[in-house]
Structure 1
Amino acid sequence: MAMFAMESVMLPASMVLVQLFSILLVLLSKLALNTGMRPFVLLAYRNLIGAAAVAPLTFVFERKKAKIPNLIEWGWISMNATSGVILAMGLYYYGLRGTNATYSVVFLNLIPIVTSVVAILLRAEKLVFRKWHGKMKLLGIVACAGGTMVVSLYKGKMLHHPWPTHLLRSHTQAAAAPAAHHNMVIGTLFLCGSCLGYAFWFIIQVKLAKVFPSRYWVATLTCLSGSLQAFVIGILIDPHTSAWRLKWDLQLLTVVYSGVFNTGVALVLMSWAVKRRGPIYPSMFNSLAMVATVIMDSTLLGTSIFLGR
């Protein structure tokens, strides 16, 4: 009973912590992409550092049961990395580069909807309309879809901010890369694709937890596989070595922070939550990051806030 009570507190607390990591990550990533950093370069380094961050936990907690995955297990780990790193994170970075932090965070609210629909279609989740929890889940899907459509399509009057704005705007304007255009249409398509990637990622983790239950070892191998895939794709897109050089600047800070907290720690926490509560549970907390990101995006980057958005 005590263990269940502790888990009922620790699970939501861990998901809130993941959202706090995400808030700072979105802003740092936007700044890094504005300075010309390539999305797959960021992904490759981020997951490499994430693997290094989780590996000590593997040695401490799972050294006795850690094993070399067989071919089937490697297949699931590779699919986990492809959906969670290449599709979910990679497409999100491209969408973030083409839009802004506030707009991109709004699409995180689509993840529970897409995850629910895909999970129901793949029979990973059951939606029972005759019971109250099934009706509430359907109501939640409709509410999230309606809210996201309003935020995406409706642009009302611009609001006056009660706080100082664009504290870092001069920095981002001076260092912004020519390719970082605000192409909202293409950016929106990338963000929608990212939502689909996250949906498959959450669902694959349910199967992966059954096939290969070593949580930390799976996280380490997923990070390594994701880093390798991102490196190969990044080289094919931009083979110039200058794109892969890191200096002691904002780009290095973004790589280290995202690798340790958002890839390493967050991946372990979300894998644990999916194993205990199912694929939809982590995505239910994505709305928490919206308000804080809107304020910080306006304060630091000077992004305008409109009524309805």
Structure 2
Amino acid sequence: MAMFAMESVMLPASMVLVQLFSILLVLLSKLALNTGMRPFVLLAYRNLIGAAVIAPLTFVFERKKAKIPNLIEWGWISMNATSGVILAMGLYYYGLRGTNATYSVVFLNLIPIVTSVVAILLRAEKLVFRKWHGKMKFLGIVTCVGGTMVVSLYKGKMLHHPWPTHLLRSHTQAAAAPAAHHNMVIGTLFLCGSCLGYAFWFIIQVKLAKVFPSRYWVATLTCLSGSLQAFVIGILIDPHTSAWRLKWDLQLLTIVYSGVFNTGVALVLMSWAVKRRGPIYPSMFNSLAMVATVIMDSTLLGTSIFLGSMIGTVLVIVGLYAFLWGKGKELQEAISLTKNAGENEDPGDGGEHGEPVLEVRHRGDEIA
């Protein structure tokens, strides 16, 4: 009973901590990009740090299962790195550089929606309209898309708020990137591409988990592969060595922070939460990041808050929870069917204790 009570407190606390990591990462990344840091430089170093953080977990939890991947497994790992690091994270950094933290976080919350839509189009998932969970998923998708359009296309009245602003505005203005980087249209296209990258990343991970089930070892190799790919692309885009030279400044802090906390610590916490509460549980806390980012982005970076962005954000949150409710009911139904099927089979065909095995997986980083 005491263990259950402790877990009921620690699980939500750990998810709040993961959201805090995400908020700080978005703000730090925005500041670093504003000071002239190249997105692929940030990606290359971040994933190198992430690999160094996750590697000890591989030794602790998977040292008996770790092996050198064969050519086919390397292919899947490389595709995993391309979709998850180069496309998902890389395009997100370009989108963040061209827009602002509040705007970009809205698109992070669309990732489950876009993933589900892509899975439906690829026939990896079905949308059943005759059941309530299918109707709620569809309603959530439509509401999130509508909210995103409101955020993107409608500003409305500027809202006044009680907290101070522009605390870091002079710093960001002094070292701001060229004006072309703040083109909202191009930034929006990058953020949409990032959502698609994440969607394909999740789909690839399902296949990768079957051919190479060592989670931490895969994460380590994916980080290394992603770092190498980002380095090659970054060199082709900007071959000047000055772009890759690190100093004891905000850029180095962003690299170390993102690699240690968002790639390492967040992976462990989210894996634990998914194991105890299922794949929907971490996403239930996403609205905290949205609300907190709006406040901190306005307070620290001086980003203006408009009525349109508030209405769109509320629509996205409502749509996300409607979608997650439907998805949760769908998972419960699938688990129930699996258990019923297992009861009708020979217990020797099931898991370790004769029960059916159902594995659920969820994104480790967050992303961004």
TM-score (norm 1): 0.91
What CA distance in whole angstroms lies between the structure 1 residues aligned with 2:124 and 2:6? 27
Deviation at 1:156, TM superposition (A): 1.0
User: Structure 2 regions of 5+ residues with no counterpart?
Assistant: 309-368
Give 1:149 deviation, angstroms. Answer: 1.3
Once the 2 structures are TM-superposed, how far is the Cα of residue 124 of structure 1 from its aligned partner?
2.6
> Bigger shift: 12-21 or 104-113?
12-21
Whole-Å Cα distance in 1 between the matches of residues 19 and 237 of structure 2? Answer: 31
Q: Cα distance, 1:106 vs. partner?
A: 1.4
**Structure 1 moving runs of 4+ over 4 Å:** 1-16, 267-285
Change (3 A) 1:45 1:301: same
For 1:147 and 1:302, how far apart are their aligned partners in 2? 23
Give 3-state SS (helix, strand or coil) of 1:180's partner: helix
- Work out whether residues 215 and 268 of structure 1, in 8 Å CA contact, stay in contact via their aligned partners in 2: no
Q: C-alpha deviations, 1:38-61, integer Å up to 9, x for none?
A: 000000000000000000111111
| CA RMSD, Structure 1 to Structure 2 (Å) | 2.7
1:120 & 1:50 partners in 2: Cα distance?
32
Q: Could you tell me how far 1:6 is from its partner in structure 2?
A: 9.6
How far does the alpha carbon of each residue in 1:187-243 deviate from its partner, in whole angstroms, 9 at most, with x for none? 111011001001111221122222211111111011001000000000000000000
Which is worse superposed, 60-69 or 177-186? 177-186
Tell me the alpha carbon deviations over residues 123-153 of structure 1, each in whole angstroms, 9 at most, x when there is no partner. Answer: 3322222222111111111121111111111
**Structure-2 change in CA distance of 1:79 and 1:186 (3 Å):** same
Q: How many residues align?
A: 308
Larger Rg: 2
Bigger shift: residues 148-157 or 224-233: 148-157
Change (3 A) 1:208 1:5: farther
Q: Mark the CA change 1:306 to 1:265 in structure 2 (over 3 Å): closer, same or farther.
A: same
Task: Call closer, same or farther: CA 1:158–1:18 in 2, change over 3 Å.
Answer: same
Identity of aligned residues (%): 98
Counterparts in 2 of 1:117 and 1:192: CA distance versus 1, 3 Å: same
Q: Which moved more, 1:228-237 or 1:113-122?
A: 113-122
Contact 1:97 1:180 in 2 (8 A): no
| TM-score, normalisation: structure 2 | 0.77
Larger relative contact order (CA 8 Å, sep ≥ 6): 1
Of residues 97-106 and 272-281 in structure 1, the stretch that sits farther from structure 2 once superposed is 272-281
- CA apart distance, 1:9: 8.4
Cα contact 1:205–1:274 (8 A) shared by 2: no
- In the alignment, the residues of structure 2 paired with residue 38 and residue 17 of structure 1 have an alpha-carbon distance, to the nearest angstrom, of 28
Deviates more, 1:116-125 or 1:49-58: 116-125
- 1: CA distance, partners of 2:104 / 2:247: 27
